[in-house]
């Protein structure tokens, strides 16, 4: 986190630890999730390694336990609120997280999906729900998704939700699949829901590359 600006996520301004979407439960990690998360990362290694800078090589169970311990110890944990996404039987389907590292009054949302549960809307629905909750927290004006331009499936998430593609710009490559062109997608407090007026026009422009230079 950039120490030069006030923190957006603090213990007093933090999102709920549990979000219930009926068939999906998005909740803060618990110690008992360590093995499920380790296995999900193992099963999804090829996809995650390609795009996620934090997975340059396979993780050990001990490294995974350290991650979970940090998440269990505080909320937010070092500027992050990380969640697991579970089905109603408690199976881990994917993850979504808030990261306080991109600028004033702004939170970044990151995600990955267990490779066995992609293509079902798990991530798109979770991002949509989390964004709406976060955008009414005091001091939060905007949420962003940062992804590499070559990561088509990741970019499809904010595109599907009608977020605005704000810019595509050179950025350092940190994972093997990255092209070095980073996309920044944004949604702001007060943006209209998808399907109404401006937002859907913007989404259409983004899809065609109209106003965004895609």
Ligand X SMILES: CC(C)(COP(=O)(O)OP(=O)(O)OC[C@H]1O[C@@H](n2cnc3c(N)ncnc32)[C@H](O)[C@@H]1OP(=O)(O)O)[C@@H](O)C(=O)NCCC(=O)NCCS
Residues binding ligand X (CB under 6 A) = 47-48, 51-52, 111-113, 118-125, 147, 151, 153-154, 156-157
Closer CB to ligand X, residue 24 or residue 73? 24
Closer CB to ligand X, residue 47 or residue 188? 47
Provide the minimum distance between the beta carbon of 4 and ligand X in the complex, in angstroms, as a whole number. Answer: 25
CB atoms within 10 A of CB 162: 23
Long-range contacts of residues 96-103, Cβ cutoff 8 Å, at least 24 apart? 96/26, 96/123, 96/126, 96/127, 96/130, 98/9, 98/15, 98/130, 98/134, 100/1, 100/7, 100/8, 100/9, 100/76, 101/1, 101/2, 102/144, 102/146, 103/5
Provide the minimum distance between the beta carbon of 11 and ligand X in the complex, in angstroms, as a whole number. Answer: 27
Closer CB to ligand X, residue 54 or residue 63? 54
Provide the minimum distance between the beta carbon of 55 and ligand X in the complex, in angstroms, as a whole number. Answer: 9
98: helix, coil or strand?
strand
Residue closest to ligand X (Cβ) = 121
Provide the minimum distance between the beta carbon of 70 and ligand X in the complex, in angstroms, as a whole number. Answer: 20
Closer CB to ligand X, residue 116 or residue 210? 116
């Amino acid at each position: 986190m950039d120490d030069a600006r006030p923190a957006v996520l603090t213990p007093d301004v933090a999102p709920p630890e549990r979000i219930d979407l009926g068939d999906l439960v998005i909740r803060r990690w618990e110690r008992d999730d360590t093995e499920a998360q380790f296995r999900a990362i193992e099963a999804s290694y090829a996809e995650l390694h390609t795009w996620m800078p934090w997975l340059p090589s396979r993780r050990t169970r001990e490294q995974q336990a350290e991650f979970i311990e940090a998440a269990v110890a505080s909320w937010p944990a070092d500027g992050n609120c990380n969640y697991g996404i579970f089905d109603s039987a408690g199976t881990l389907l994917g993850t979504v997280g808030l990261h306080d590292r991109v600028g004033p009054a702004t939170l970044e949302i990151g995600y990955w999906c267990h490779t066995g549960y992609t293509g079902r809307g798990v991530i798109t629905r979770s991002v949509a729900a989390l964004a709406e909750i976060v955008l009414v927290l005091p001091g939060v004006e905007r949420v962003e998704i940062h992804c590499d331009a070559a990561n088509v499936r990741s970019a499809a998430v904010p595109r599907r939700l009608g977020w605005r593609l704000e810019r595509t710009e050179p950025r350092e490559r940190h994972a093997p699949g990255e092209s070095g062109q980073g996309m920044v997608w944004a949604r702001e407090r007060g943006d209209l829901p998808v399907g109404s007026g401006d937002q859907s026009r913007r989404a259409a422009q983004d899809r065609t590359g109209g106003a965004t230079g895609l």
